Amino acid sequence: MILPSGEQHELVLGDQRAVVVEVGGGLRIYERAGRPILLGYGEQEMCGAGRGQVLMPWPNRLAEGRYAWEGEELQLPLNEVESRSAIHGLVRWASWRAVEREEARVVVEHTLHPQPGYPFTLLLRVEYRLEERGLVVRTEAKNVGARTCPFGAGHHPYVAASEGVDELVLDGARIGARRLDETWHRPGGWRIAAADVELWADASWPYVQLFTGDLPDVGRRGLAIEPMTCPPQAFRTSEAVLRLSPGDTFFGEWGIDTRS
């Protein structure tokens, strides 16, 4: 029987456990001492609400799925019908293969081939590794095609909120009834405390999306803190879009520090 999220790669270090999946190359589970650090999903479930997914070659929404690149008008499929947007890139439902594997580390890889709306070729790799301080994620994207391409990246972890997002303390203040879906610009690297964990990102991720999980299948049980290289609509506005010439590689790290 093939699981909805495909092959499962379990990582273990001391009391930490994570599960990386084939479908989307994302993170299904991250827990410490049996306590969920991230809001995950079950082995028999299909991923919902972007939980733990990899967002490439752009994060967040792109209105009407249209953008211009080097004088060419390009049209992406609209995969969020209600907002008429192309959302969160092209690899969330693709198969990723494990190319390096250790007890507490895995590297998954996917080749994004040219397709309507994105006629470029990228070799994508994501490394997940457990360290004593917590989880570290390294993302790489190499332009292996013949054309310079636009590129952006993001990840979609939800910090688990066992008593609901209302009770979470975010950077020193209780969230309460606030409904957050906002972009923060934090160049130079950042650290954000939520409950008793800290998410951090290096300077490759100057934006972060905060979302209080106001969706039926999340139900404010998790706070999304999403590292991003560019803000929403970036392919349309050109804000912080990376230009990858043939042979160029993007890489960046982010992670979660836990205090058990």
Locate the domains of the chain by residue range: 8-60+88-258
Instruction: Extract the tokens encoding 139.
Output: 């993302």
The side-by-side arrangement of strands in the sheet containing 97-102 is: 97-102, 105-112, 122-131, 134-143, 249-258, 197-201, 190-194, 169-170, 173-174
Which one is the CATH code of 8-60+88-258: 3.40.109.10, 2.70.98.10, 3.40.50.970, 3.40.50.300?
Answer: 2.70.98.10
Residues counted in the chain: 260
CA distances from 34 to 9, 18, 256 (A): 18, 11, 16
Q: What's the pTM value of the predicted model, to 2 decimals?
A: 0.97
pLDDT band at 260 (very low <50, low <70, confident <90, very high): low
Q: How far apart are CA 15 and CA 17, in angstroms?
A: 7
Q: How far apart are CA 146 and CA 85, in angstroms?
A: 28
Over residues 213-232, the pLDDT tens digits come to 999 999 999 999 999 999 99
Instruction: Extract the tokens encoding 216.
Output: 């039926």
What pLDDT, on the 0 to 100 scale, is given for residue 195? 83
Higher pLDDT: 82 or 107? It is 107
Over residues 95-107, the pLDDT tens digits come to 999 999 999 999 9
